């Protein structure tokens, strides 16, 4: 039984000029919804692992998080996150399917041979069919081109997204990790060829990686796309867990290609402690302040969080209690961020 008051306190923002409202905090199912034994907690027992995944999604939905974000390659292994989330939706959340925004993507390597990745019509549409089969759904709400393809004509990639929309296998199209100029090209091609226009862009964005401010925010605002920011906590650097050391169960202590222990330098830890002190003055944790900072931009529709346990979801949603920054606070954050050594923002 879902929380009957689940929509009372969540903030919803319009996704660009579309009809879609997204929660300000969305749940990403990248690292912690694959096979048992994977994810941050390394829960080896399948039943216990599945229960933890259910608890994360149940807690998210009860807090008003209606958007579950996936991709074909999420796991590990690739595809396993879609299978698990699909099972939870079918078995436990089926009655609420029309209240959910479920998204998936294609563009990274999924199967051998020349059609198993990138942005050809063959690759995108075959991958979408596979995703729907793993999810056990008739459609996803948003289907993304996960990354730009340097070799496939943009017209072909966008034509495949258009076909996915017109076939009813997705309600909306999206793009991810396209730069500002490419985003403008996307929207131009859609206008000229009368294709279904993407409604959303998913770039990485956080206090330590601000590349979208160099032009992408202007491009999306001009073209009416919403932005959903992934890695708002910089792969965990901005959660506070690395203030003093590198925990043995952390991503930096593992063999993760996304966050190296080399990023957790003494200099960066010193600066993290300064950010943490500012967060305390705001009555927030470092993670909450980092999420609030991402959401300060009017162009950002939602911040996409990961979670290995339900308590993290609750803490992150509490960031919405204080989204206001003074000019002085923003200047302090800018000054601290400028001193970070390369590495932690990937």
Per-residue pLDDT of the chain (346 residues; tens, 9 = 90+): 899 999 999 999 999 999 999 999 999 999 999 999 998 889 999 999 999 999 999 999 999 999 999 999 999 999 999 999 999 999 999 999 999 999 999 999 999 999 999 999 999 999 999 999 999 999 999 999 999 999 999 999 999 999 999 999 999 999 999 999 999 999 999 999 999 999 999 999 999 999 999 999 999 999 999 999 999 999 899 998 878 766 655 555 455 555 555 677 889 999 999 999 999 999 999 999 999 999 999 999 999 999 999 999 999 999 999 999 999 999 999 999 999 987 544 3
Best CA proximity match to 158, nearest among 193, 132, 108:
193
Predicted local confidence at residue 37, as pLDDT: 95
Q: Omega of the bond prior to 77 within 30 degrees of 0, cis?
A: yes
What secondary structure letter does DSSP report for 167?
T
Predicted local confidence at residue 341, as pLDDT: 87
Cα separation, 79 vs 104, in Å, equals 11
Predicted local confidence at residue 346, as pLDDT: 38
Sign of CA dihedral 37, 39, 41, 46: negative
**Other CB atoms closer than 10 Å to residue 270's CB: what's the count?**
12
Predicted local confidence at residue 253, as pLDDT: 46
Predicted local confidence at residue 344, as pLDDT: 43
**Other CB atoms closer than 10 Å to residue 248's CB: what's the count?**
7
Pairing mode, strands 170-176 and 200-202: parallel
For 104, 107, 123, 148, the CA distances from 114, given in Å and listed in that order, are 21, 12, 9, 16
Query: What domains lie within the chain, and their CATH numbers?
Result: 12-233+294-310 (3.20.20.100)
**Other CB atoms closer than 10 Å to residue 122's CB: what's the count?**
15
Six-digit token pair at 52?
């933890």
Cβ-Cβ contacts under 8 Å for 120 (sequence gap 6 or more): 149, 152, 156, 157, 160
């Amino acid at each position: 039984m879902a929380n009957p008051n689940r929509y009372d306190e969540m903030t919803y923002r319009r996704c660009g000029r579309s009809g879609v409202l997204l929660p300000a905090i969305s749940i990403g199912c990248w690292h912690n919804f694959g096979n048992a034994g994977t994810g941050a907690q390394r829960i080896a027992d399948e039943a216990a692992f599945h229960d933890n995944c259910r608890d994360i999604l149940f807690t998210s939905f009860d807090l008003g998080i209606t958007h579950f974000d996936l991709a074909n390659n999420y796991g590990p292994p690739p595809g396993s996150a879609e299978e698990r989330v699909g099972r939870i939706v079918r078995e436990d959340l089926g009655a609420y399917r029309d209240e959910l925004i479920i998204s998936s993507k294609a563009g990274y390597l999924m199967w051998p041979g020349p059609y198993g990745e990138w942005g050809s019509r063959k690759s995108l549409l075959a991958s979408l069919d596979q995703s729907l089969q793993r999810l056990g759904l008739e459609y996803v709400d948003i289907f993304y081109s996960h990354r730009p393809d340097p070799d496939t004509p943009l017209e072909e990639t966008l034509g495949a997204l258009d076909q996915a929309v017109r076939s009813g296998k997705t309600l909306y199209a999206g793009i991810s990790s396209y730069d500002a100029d490419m985003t403008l090209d996307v929207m131009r091609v859609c206008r000229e060829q009368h294709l279904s226009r993407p409604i959303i862009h998913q770039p990485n964005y956080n206090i330590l990686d601000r590349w979208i401010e160099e032009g992408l925010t202007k491009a999306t605002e001009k073209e009416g796309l919403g932005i959903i920011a992934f890695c708002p906590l910089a792969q965990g650097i901005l959660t506070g867990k690395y203030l003093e050391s590198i925990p043995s169960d952390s991503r930096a202590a593992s063999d993760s290609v996304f966050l190296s222990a080399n990023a957790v330098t003494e200099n960066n830890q010193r600066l993290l402690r300064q950010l943490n002190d500012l967060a305390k003055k705001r009555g927030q944790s470092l993670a909450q302040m980092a999420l609030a900072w991402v959401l300060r931009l009017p162009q950002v529709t939602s911040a996409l969080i990961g979670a290995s346990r339900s308590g993290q979801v609750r803490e992150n949603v509490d960031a919405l209690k204080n989204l206001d920054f003074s000019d002085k606070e923003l200047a302090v954050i800018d000054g601290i961020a400028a001193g970070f050594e390369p590495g932690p923002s990937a």
